[in-house]
């Protein structure tokens, strides 16, 4: 009888312990879920409700970029009756996965494309997705001018040069064709020179003198020395939403010929040369240990964000990988030892 009472007491304690554990786990999950819902709501209201976006997390994967860009380009090149837009496709998937593209399922993209090709509109398919407009504006800010119509010089069979109209990727790798580099996803890592701060770009390790390329057409806003970035160039896209930052350029001859603030450059132009300058208040000093290009992209949805405290810098590691499929071919001018692009390039916003 005593044994039964003891066993009953033990079983009761075990049961109570299990109930407490289940209660605690359920409470934690409920709090976590509530936090996520509140976070999503607050992020949406902060980014959209006050007139312009103030926070963006670019979590694109190379697979998503490759697939959606191909769908966009193929539908235009084939002159399909339904022209797909890769930013719309990406924004739809961002809503579906809470911007976590690691959850990507091929059937979701296939079903979306099928619905669009069978007459549904993206507006109809996203009308109940409360964050779609936010993602569309965010990814439009990042990728808005990467794909579209352009003209490029080609050499005909007879040897003559002419401009050929095309539709496709019109943004270029920041490293010229024929020049190697290595990199890893170092966005957000700690930096200590001057003051403790995060690394707001991607370091592309290469050889001193490697030609550096304008990723997108735009206007040079900065060309000079900065103690953190050394010799650097900053280029603003024509729509004003992207600021491209190229830093640690070569000592003594950092820039391509005739680079100056206010100049318009074309996507694919040589703008400077890889080096290791910076980390010094004294101009033209190599205080970087390894030659590399610091490449960054800042998003600007309101002019107050350009140099203010609410800056948006995104992780460009995957974007750099994506752009490897479109490299600008360059050649050296014997007399000046300068490099120039081999084939000229033109797009509509350069004609305005």
**H-run or E-run covering 197:** strand 197-198
CB 173 within 8 A of CB 328: yes
What would be the CATH architecture of the domain defined by 190-350?
Distorted Sandwich (2.70)
pLDDT band for position 233 (50/70/90)?
Answer: very high
Q: What is the pLDDT of residues 171-207, one digit of tens each?
A: 999 999 999 999 998 877 776 665 666 778 999 999 9
Tokens at 208, concatenated: 């001193």
For 113, list phi and psi in degrees, rounded to 5. Answer: -65, -40
- Residue 71, pLDDT > 90, answer yes
Q: Which helix (H) or strand (E) holds 43?
A: helix 2-48
The answer to whether residues 82 and 116 touch, using CB atoms and an 8 Å cutoff, is: yes
Contacts 24+ apart (CB under 8 A), 120-123: 122/85, 122/88, 122/92
pTM: 0.84
Q: Write down the pLDDT at residue 29.
A: 44
Q: What is the pLDDT, as a whole number, of residue 157? A: 80
d(C-alpha 156, C-alpha 72), whole Å: 28
Look at residue 94 in the predicted model and tell me its pLDDT: 98
- Considering only CA atoms, which of 106, 116, 321, 294 is closest in space to residue 198? 294
Instruction: Report how far residue 117's alpha carbon sits from residue 84's, in angstroms, rounded to the nearest whole number.
Output: 9
For the chain, which residues make up each domain, given as ranges?
1-51, 62-143, 190-350
Give the mean pLDDT of the chain.
Answer: 88
Quick one: tokens of 305?
């964000």
What is the distance between the alpha carbons of residues 315 and 313, in angstroms, rounded to a whole number? 7
């Amino acid at each position: 009888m005593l044994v039964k009472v003891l066993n009953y007491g033990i079983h009761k304690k075990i049961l109570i312990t299990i109930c407490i554990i289940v209660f605690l786990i359920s409470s934690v999950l409920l709090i976590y879920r509530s936090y996520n819902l509140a976070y999503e709501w607050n992020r949406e209201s902060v980014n959209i409700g006050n007139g312009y976006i103030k926070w963006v997390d670019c979590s694109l994967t190379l697979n998503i970029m490759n697939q959606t860009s191909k769908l966009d380009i193929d539908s235009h090149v084939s002159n399909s009756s339904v022209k797909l837009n890769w930013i719309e496709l990406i924004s739809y998937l961002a809503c579906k996965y809470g911007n976590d593209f690691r959850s990507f399922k091929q059937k979701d993209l296939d079903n979306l494309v099928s619905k669009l090709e069978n007459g549904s509109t993206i507006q109809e398919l996203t009308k109940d997705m409360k964050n779609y407009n936010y993602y569309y504006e965010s990814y439009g800010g990042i990728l808005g001018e990467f794909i579209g119509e352009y003209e490029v010089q080609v050499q005909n069979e007879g040897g003559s040069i002419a401009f050929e109209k095309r539709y496709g990727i019109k943004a270029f790798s920041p490293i010229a064709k024929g020049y190697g580099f290595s990199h890893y996803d170092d966005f957000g890592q700690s930096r200590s020179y001057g003051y403790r701060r995060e690394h707001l770009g991607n370091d592309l390790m290469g050889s001193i003198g490697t030609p550096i390329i304008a990723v997108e057409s735009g206007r040079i806003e900065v060309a000079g020395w900065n103690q953190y970035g050394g010799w650097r160039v900053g280029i603003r896209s024509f729509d004003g939403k992207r600021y491209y930052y190229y830093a640690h350029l070569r000592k003594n001859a950092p820039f391509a010929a005739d680079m100056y603030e206010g100049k318009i450059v074309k996507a694919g132009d040589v703008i400077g040369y890889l080096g290791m300058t910076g980390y010094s208040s004294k101009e033209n000093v190599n205080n970087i240990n390894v030659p590399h290009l610091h490449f960054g992209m800042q998003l600007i949805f309101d002019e107050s964000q350009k140099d203010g405290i609410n800056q948006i810098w995104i992780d460009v590691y995957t974007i750099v990988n994506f752009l490897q499929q479109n490299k600008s071919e360059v050649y050296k001018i014997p007399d000046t030892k300068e490099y120039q692009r081999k084939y000229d390039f033109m797009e509509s916003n350069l004609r305005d």
